Amino acid sequence: MEENKINMPLLGDDFPELNVQTTHGPMSIPGDMKGQWFVLFSHPADFTPVCTTEFVAFQKRYEQFEELGCKLIGMSIDQIFSHIKWVQWIKAELDIEIKFPIIAANDSVAMKLGMLHPGKGTNTVRAVFIVDPKSKVRLIMYYPQEVGRNMDEVVRAVRALQLSDKQGAIAAGWPNNELIGDRIIVPPPTNEEDAKNREKEYECFDWWFCHKPLEK
C-alpha cells in the first residue's frame, strides 16, 4: 500500500511535511522550524541502553547546538507516554534533563524518512537528518541499531555545513585536517584564466587545490 512505501528523502530535497505529537506538544515539521537549522534523529526504542547513552550525549551537547542556532528533535515509534516516562527516568536516575522534544512517530512517518529498514527489523534505525533554514535536507546519516552515534560528528557536520555556505568547501576531519588544518578549500576555477591566476591569489598545492584561512 502507498502508506507503507519507503520514500527516503535525498540531499537537497525539501524535508517531508510531518504533523506529529511530541513530548513538548503537537508540532508541524519543518513548518515550526522554518528559518533555523535543526537536527532530527531517530532511535530504535525507549528504555534501551544504547539509546539512553545517545540521548545523554545529545543533551550534553545541547548548548553547542543552541550556539549554532540549531534545534534538536528526537524520534521513535514508541508511544508518547513511553517517551515521557523514559525522559523522567533519565532525569531521576542519571540527573540529566532532556530539553529537546521527542516525536512519537508511527510507521507511516518513519517510512517517509526511510527509518524502517526491513533487513533490520521493525524498529527505526539510527537516522540523522540535518536540515537548513530553508527546510532543505543537507546531510543524512544512517546507523544500525547496534552501533551508537558520535554526537561530536553531528555538531561538526552542522558547523561545517554552515561554514561551507559562507566560505567554501570543508576538508576531511575539519578542523584538524592532516593537510590544511582548519583552513577552507577554495572552489576550483571554472576557466583557464582563473586557473592561471589561482596560485597568485591563494596558497595552493596546485591550481585545482587551493585554500584560505578560516574567517572567524
CATH of residue 177: 3.30.1020.10
Q: Which of 100, 120, 149 is the last residue of a domain?
A: 149
- How confident is residue 2, by pLDDT bands cut at 50, 70 and 90? very low
Residue 3 has pLDDT above 50, yes or no: no
- How confident is residue 32, by pLDDT bands cut at 50, 70 and 90? very high
Q: Which of 149, 180, 199 is the last residue of a domain?
A: 149
Options 51, 70, 204, 210, the catalytic residue: 51
- Pick the more confident residue, 193 or 110: 193
For the chain, give percent helix, strand, coil, nearest 5. 35, 25, 40
Query: Do both 145 and 182 map to the same domain?
Result: no
Query: Do both 178 and 106 map to the same domain?
Result: no
Beta-carbon contacts of residue 27 (< 8 Å; ≥ 6 apart): 18, 19, 20, 21, 73, 101, 103
Q: Is residue 155 part of a domain?
A: no
CATH number for 42:
3.40.30.10
Q: How many domains does the chain have?
A: 2
**Beta carbons of 115 and 82 less than 8 angstroms apart:** no
- How confident is residue 121, by pLDDT bands cut at 50, 70 and 90? low
Query: Do both 186 and 138 map to the same domain?
Result: no
**Beta carbons of 21 and 103 less than 8 angstroms apart:** yes
Instruction: Tell me which of 59-63, 118-122, 148-152 is least confident.
Output: 118-122
Residue 90 has pLDDT above 60, yes or no: yes
Query: Please, what is the average pLDDT of the chain?
Result: 92
Query: Do both 25 and 72 map to the same domain?
Result: yes
pLDDT of residue 7: 72
51 catalytic residue (yes or no) = yes
Cα–Cα distance measured from residue 17 to residue 34, given in angstroms and rounded to the nearest whole number: 12
Residue 161 main-chain phi, psi, to 5 deg: -60, -40
pLDDT of residue 111: 80
Average pLDDT over residues 22-33: 96
Q: Is residue 184 part of a domain?
A: yes
Query: Do both 140 and 184 map to the same domain?
Result: no
Q: Which of 96, 118, 149 is the last residue of a domain?
A: 149
**Beta carbons of 41 and 58 less than 8 angstroms apart:** yes
pLDDT in tens, 170-188: 999 999 999 999 999 999 8
Q: Is residue 88 part of a domain?
A: yes
Query: Do both 125 and 213 map to the same domain?
Result: no
Domain with 96 in it:
2-149
- Pick the more confident residue, 7 or 197: 197
- How confident is residue 135, by pLDDT bands cut at 50, 70 and 90? very high
Q: Is residue 157 part of a domain?
A: no
Query: Do both 82 and 184 map to the same domain?
Result: no
**Cα three-residue angle 37-10-77, rounded to 5 degrees:** 75
pLDDT in tens, 91-107: 999 999 999 999 998 87
pLDDT of residue 122: 65
Residue 5 has pLDDT above 70, yes or no: no
